[in-house]
């Protein structure tokens, strides 16, 4: 324990300092799934140059098509213009390796919610990124402190918990781990404000604010549905009209991805041991059947090719 403490003190002492005049100008995103696409679109829309890295060309091309299709749908709804699309896509570069990653000021990890996977990503980034670069994880349940201890820059590790759909949700939770410097926090808060989001600071704890609060609500709504108290549509209607929610808890679960929600439930159940986080049988069944929600066209509800809920 003492050796570990000394090692971390050495790391913190040796870390390169940030230039307050430089700010964050270039951003790289590791992972081009639903969250990576949304984060990339949002950041590019506010004028930043963005690099998106995916593990292979098949997934990379799929992500590029999905992002373009999503923007096209917003154009049809008059929510965006062709000029917006051209500007956003023009600021995003795509690649399948970490070439030139040392040119980026902020590197955001948006891979699957798996501790070992995230650690492997940051270990590799730590070797290649410039010493001043800030590392960000989009984790919603895992320990940033434990992840940061695997790098040589724990003071520059911070969490940014974006919510899906990223371009439309104006909130970002800023998560400070045990070693995150105040300097890093201020840099990231300034960046979050520049991309049109409201930053909310939270202490590192499983689930933070949003995930910890929404999981029991989703879980209970699924129990109500499983017990036959009401239909999925009526459960969501009751919560939307009764509590002024934009979306009902069941539709929210489908939007987030039922596999992702199940991972949150399992992690919170294992970490906190509270029965309210124990996954209900319905979500386990749906995930086994690969009915993951909007992204697969079916979950609790069914969806068309644009992700619109079918009545």
- The answer to whether residues 186 and 284 belong to one domain is no
- Look at residues 186, 203, 220 and tell me which one is the last residue of a structural domain: 203
Query: What's the total number of domains in the chain?
Result: 2
Output b/e per residue, 207-239; b: 16+ Cβ within 10 A: bbebbbebbbbbbebbebbeeeeeebeebbeeb
pLDDT category of residue 261 using cuts at 50, 70 and 90: very high
- What does the pLDDT read at residue 5? 45
- What does the pLDDT read at residue 210? 93
- The answer to whether residues 199 and 244 belong to one domain is no
Contact between 54 and 97 under an 8 Å Cβ cutoff? The reply is: no
Q: What pTM was computed for the model?
A: 0.85
Per residue in 288-303, pLDDT tens? 999 999 989 999 999 9
- The answer to whether residues 276 and 233 belong to one domain is yes
- The answer to whether residues 250 and 129 belong to one domain is no
CATH number of residue 276's parent domain: 1.10.1040.10
Say if residue 155 is exposed, middle or buried (CB neighbours under 10 Å; 0-12, 13-18, 19+).
buried
- The answer to whether residues 34 and 100 belong to one domain is yes
Peptide bond into 165 cis (omega under 30): yes
pLDDT category of residue 6 using cuts at 50, 70 and 90: very low
Range of the domain at 30: 2-203
pLDDT category of residue 23 using cuts at 50, 70 and 90: confident
- Look at residues 203, 220, 248 and tell me which one is the last residue of a structural domain: 203
Residue 309 belongs to a domain: no
Instruction: Indicate whether 52 pLDDT > 90.
Output: yes
Report residue 116: phi and psi, to 5°: -60, -40
- The answer to whether residues 90 and 233 belong to one domain is no
Instruction: Indicate whether 148 pLDDT > 90.
Output: yes
Residue 306 belongs to a domain: no
Instruction: Indicate whether 16 pLDDT > 50.
Output: yes
- Look at residues 168, 203, 238 and tell me which one is the last residue of a structural domain: 203
Output b/e per residue, 37-62; b: 16+ Cβ within 10 A: bbbbbbbbbeebbbbbbbeeeeebee
Per residue in 163-182, pLDDT tens? 988 999 999 999 999 999 99
Strand partners, 293: 298
Residue 311 belongs to a domain: no
- The answer to whether residues 28 and 166 belong to one domain is yes
User: How, if at all, do strands 171-176 and 157-162 pair?
Assistant: antiparallel
CATH number of residue 33's parent domain: 3.40.50.720
Nearest CA-CA partner of 114 in 266, 216, 273: 266
Mean pLDDT for 306-311 is 83
Instruction: Indicate whether 17 pLDDT > 90.
Output: no
- The answer to whether residues 135 and 263 belong to one domain is no
Instruction: Indicate whether 209 pLDDT > 50.
Output: yes
Mean pLDDT for 186-215 is 94
């Amino acid at each position: 324990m003492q050796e570990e403490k000394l090692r971390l003190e050495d790391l913190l002492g040796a870390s390169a300092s940030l230039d307050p005049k430089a700010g964050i100008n270039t951003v790289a995103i590791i992972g081009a799934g639903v969250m990576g696409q949304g984060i990339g679109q949002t950041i590019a829309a506010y004028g930043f140059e963005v690099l998106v890295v995916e593990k292979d060309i098949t997934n990379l091309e799929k992500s590029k098509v999905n992002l373009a299709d999503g923007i096209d749908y917003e154009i049809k709804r008059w929510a965006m213009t062709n000029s917006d699309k051209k500007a956003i896509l023009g600021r995003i570069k795509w690649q399948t390796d970490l070439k030139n990653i040392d040119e980026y000021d902020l590197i955001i990890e948006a891979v699957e919610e798996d501790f070992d996977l995230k650690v492997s990503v940051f270990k590799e980034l730590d070797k290649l990124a410039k010493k001043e670069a800030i590392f960000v994880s989009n984790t919603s349940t895992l320990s940033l402190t434990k992840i940061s201890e695997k790098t040589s820059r724990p003071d520059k590790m911070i969490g940014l918990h974006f919510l899906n759909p990223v371009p439309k949700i104006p909130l970002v939770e800023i998560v400070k781990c045990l070693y995150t410097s105040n300097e890093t926090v201020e840099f990231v808060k300034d960046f979050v404000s520049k991309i049109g989001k409201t930053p909310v600071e939270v202490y590192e704890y499983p689930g933070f604010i949003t995930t910890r609060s929404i999981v029991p609500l989703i879980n209970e709504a699924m129990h109500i549905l499983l017990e036959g108290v009401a239909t999925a549509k009526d459960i969501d209607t009751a919560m939307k009209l009764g509590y002024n929610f934009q979306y009902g808890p069941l539709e929210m679960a489908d939007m987030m991805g039922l596999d992702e929600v199940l991972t949150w439930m399992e992690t919170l159940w294992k970490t906190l041991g509270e029965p309210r986080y124990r996954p209900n049988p319905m979500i386990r069944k749906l995930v086994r059947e690969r009915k993951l929600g909007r992204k697969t066209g079916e979950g609790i509800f069914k969806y068309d090719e644009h992700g619109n809920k079918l009545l």
